[in-house]
């Protein structure tokens, strides 16, 4: 059994505490107060309550660290090398429709790069976690990305653009190309879990555009520590501020890049 470091333990404890209110609110979702941030964007009392819990608990553990949080935004800390990047409820639309597929995502960014990550699914009680150089784990079992090498055998996850949000102009063509080249595509609406599932070998790859840092920061380090690969969809170094992501088991990475690029030729 892998023993969690004090850093991971602090992150896990914060996720567990925030999850209690999420699970309770999920059971009463029809009575939950909901407002809109914009077309297709919802924010609920559950998001806000869970985020405040995360901020309080993580601040106790590391008082000098700052935050980048989905609801609260940027909170500067005394320690400029470390900051928490948190999403209290990844999969808000699922949550508000009673779909039990959502997660809490917590990442520690150190010197501009994801250093540790926790993605917790309260309904399934699955805890995905990783720390730089220490491997990736699901609860207490070591995670390994899948070993599939043929794209036609692979299951790929994606996130589709929705009302009020832009994506890559060739996304429909990309979707068609990937669909025709793989065993199938899944779209479950929670990027943090898509990345965690890629790390666990449930998916062989994942791509999405225009995500926010809190959607992906934790999942990126989990994929990498599970032996997978993460770049932007062109194969270049990923900038989490841009939010264009391609993650895979590593074996199919170049083939997946080529497949996405073929969509441009298919359109012309």
Query: How many angstroms separate the first and last alpha carbons of the chain?
Result: 53
DSSP E strands, 60-193: 65-69, 73-75, 79-90, 103-110, 113-121, 126-131, 136-138, 141-142, 155-158, 184-186
Question: Across all residues in the chain, what is the average pLDDT?
Answer: 91
**In whole angstroms, what is the distance from residue 2 CA to residue 61 CA?**
21
Model confidence, pTM: 0.92
- pLDDT tens-digit readout, 131-164: 999 999 999 999 999 999 999 999 999 998 665 4
Q: What three-state secondary structure class fits 208?
A: strand
Tell me the torsion sign for CA atoms 145, 148, 149, 155.
negative
Query: At residue 268, does pLDDT exceed 50?
Result: no
**Measured at the alpha carbon of residue 94, what is the angle toward residues 89 and 98, in degrees to the nearest 5?**
110
| Structure confidence at residue 167 as a pLDDT band (50, 70, 90) | low
Residue 105, token pair as written in the block:
């995502």
Query: At residue 169, does pLDDT exceed 70?
Result: no
pLDDT of residue 265: 54
Domains and CATH numbers, the chain: 6-142 (3.30.540.10), 151-267 (3.40.190.80)
- pLDDT tens-digit readout, 94-131: 988 889 999 999 999 999 999 999 999 999 999 999 99
Half-sphere exposure of residue 124, counting CA atoms within 13 Å on the CB side?
15
Query: At residue 45, does pLDDT exceed 90?
Result: no
Whole-Å CA distances, 182 to 24, 85, 151, 156, 205: 39, 33, 5, 7, 10
pLDDT of residue 28: 82
| Structure confidence at residue 37 as a pLDDT band (50, 70, 90) | low
- pLDDT tens-digit readout, 200-251: 999 999 999 999 999 999 999 999 999 999 999 999 999 999 999 999 999 9
Q: What three-state secondary structure class fits 162?
A: coil
Query: At residue 29, does pLDDT exceed 80?
Result: no
DSSP E strands, 95-169: 103-110, 113-121, 126-131, 136-138, 141-142, 155-158
């Amino acid at each position: 059994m892998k023993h969690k470091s004090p850093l991971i333990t602090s992150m896990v404890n914060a996720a567990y505490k925030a999850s209690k209110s999420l699970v309770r609110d999920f059971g009463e979702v029809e009575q939950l107060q909901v407002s809109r941030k914009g077309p297709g964007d919802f924010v609920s009392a559950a998001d806000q309550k869970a985020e405040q819990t995360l901020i309080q608990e993580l601040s106790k553990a590391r008082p000098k660290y700052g935050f980048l949080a989905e609801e609260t935004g940027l909170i500067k800390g005394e320690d400029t090398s470390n900051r928490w990047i948190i999403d209290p409820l990844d999969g808000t639309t699922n949550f508000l429709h009673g779909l039990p597929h959502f997660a809490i995502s917590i990442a520690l960014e150190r010197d501009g790069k994801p250093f540790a990550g926790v993605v917790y699914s309260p309904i399934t009680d699955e805890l995905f976690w990783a720390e730089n150089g220490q491997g990736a784990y699901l609860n207490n079992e070591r995670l390994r990305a899948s070993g599939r090498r043929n794209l036609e055998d692979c299951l790929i996850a994606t996130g589709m653009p929705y009302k009020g949000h832009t994506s890559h102009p060739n996304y429909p063509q990309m979707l068609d190309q990937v669909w025709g080249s793989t065993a199938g595509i899944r779209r479950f609406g929670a990027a943090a879990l898509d990345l965690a599932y890629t790390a666990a070998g449930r998916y062989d790859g994942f791509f999405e555009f225009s995500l926010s840092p809190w959607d992906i920061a934790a999942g990126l380090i989990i994929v990498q520590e599970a032996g997978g690969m993460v770049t932007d969809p062109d194969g270049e170094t990923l900038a989490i501020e841009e939010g264009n992501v391609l993650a895979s088991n590593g074996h199919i990475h170049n083939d997946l890049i080529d497949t996405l690029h073929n969509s441009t030729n298919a359109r012309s």
